[in-house]
Amino acid sequence: MHIMAIIPARSGSKGVPGKNIKQLGGFPLIAYSIIAAKLAAKIDRTIVSTDSEEIAEISREYGAETPFLRPPELAQDHSTDIDFMRHTTQWLQDNEGFIPDYLVQLRPTTPLRNPQLVDRAIAEITKRPEATSLRSAHPAPESPFKWFQKDESGYFKGLLAGFSNDFLNNPRQRFPDAYIPDGYVDIIKPALILSSGLLYGERMIGFISPICTEVDTMNDFDFLEYDLKRNGHLLWEYLKGFYPRRSPEHVRI
C-alpha cells in the first residue's frame, strides 16, 4: 500500500499575501505541514502542489518533493480541491506510471497538527476499504439545527422543515450533534478521482480532530505566534532542532 501526502500551496493569497511561506515562529508556514508528513510513520512520500517556484524551492528545503508546478489556471481564487487533486493524480499516472492508494491532504493553513493523529486517521481508512474518503472535523460548540433562516416576508423559521420556532427554543441536547469541517487531515482515493471525478464520494469517514486554528488572517498568525511561545509544539521543536530559522528578509512576499 502506497500512501502519499499532498500539500496544496498556491501563491495568490489575497487576505494574507505570501501566506503559505509567511513566517510562523521563525519558519515558513508550509514547513509545519511538511514536517508533520515527515513524522507520520504511515506516509511514504510528500509532494507540494504549487504554482510558485519560490514556494517549491522553500518546500524542497524542508524535505518535500515538487516534481511539477501547478498550472496557473488551477491556482486561482475560484480553483477547487478537485482541480489540483485531479492534476496531481493524472501527472503521477502519466509521468510515473502509478497512482498511490491514498492521498493525505495536509493544508498549510492548519499548521499545528499531531503526526500521530495523522497516522490514526490513515489507520481508520485503511481498515475500512469500502470507505471512499476521510475528512476531519471538530464538534460544533452550538448546534446549527437551532439556527434560523429568514423567509421572503422577513419572518424567521428553522433551517429544517418540522423544526418549529418553539421547538428551536429547546436545550441544545435535544438536537443532533454537528461537526465543523477543518483542515487537520483529509484522505482521498486517487482511483475514485479518475474513475468518477469525485473527491470524497458517499462513504466519507468522519474523523474527529482537536479544535485547531486555521490561518486566514493576520490575527490568526498573531494568535498562533502567541500560542507557540506560551505552549510550544512538537513540530516547532523539531524545526528548531533540525533547521535554521529564516530571517525575515529571506522570505519574499
> pLDDT by residue for the chain (253 residues), tens digit each?
999 999 999 987 777 888 999 999 999 999 999 999 999 999 999 999 999 999 999 999 999 999 999 998 888 877 888 999 999 999 999 999 999 999 999 999 999 999 999 999 999 999 999 999 999 999 998 888 899 999 999 999 998 888 889 999 888 888 888 999 999 999 999 999 999 999 999 999 999 999 888 998 999 999 999 999 999 999 999 999 999 876 554 444 3
Residue type, 170: N
Among 77, 200, 75, smallest CA distance to 134 is for: 200
- Residue 2: the pLDDT is 97
Q: Which option is the CATH number for 3-123+181-200+213-250: 3.40.640.10, 3.30.830.10, 3.30.450.70, 3.90.550.10?
A: 3.90.550.10
Tell me the C-alpha distance between 118 and 43, whole Å.
9
- Residue 173: the pLDDT is 85
- Residue 248: the pLDDT is 53
- Residue 252: the pLDDT is 40
Tell me the C-alpha distance between 165 and 169, whole Å.
7
- Residue 250: the pLDDT is 44
Question: Can you give the residue ranges of every domain in the chain?
Answer: 3-123+181-200+213-250
Residue type, 252: R
What does the block give as the cell for 56?
Answer: 517549491
CA dihedral 181, 187, 190, 191 (to 10 degrees): -100
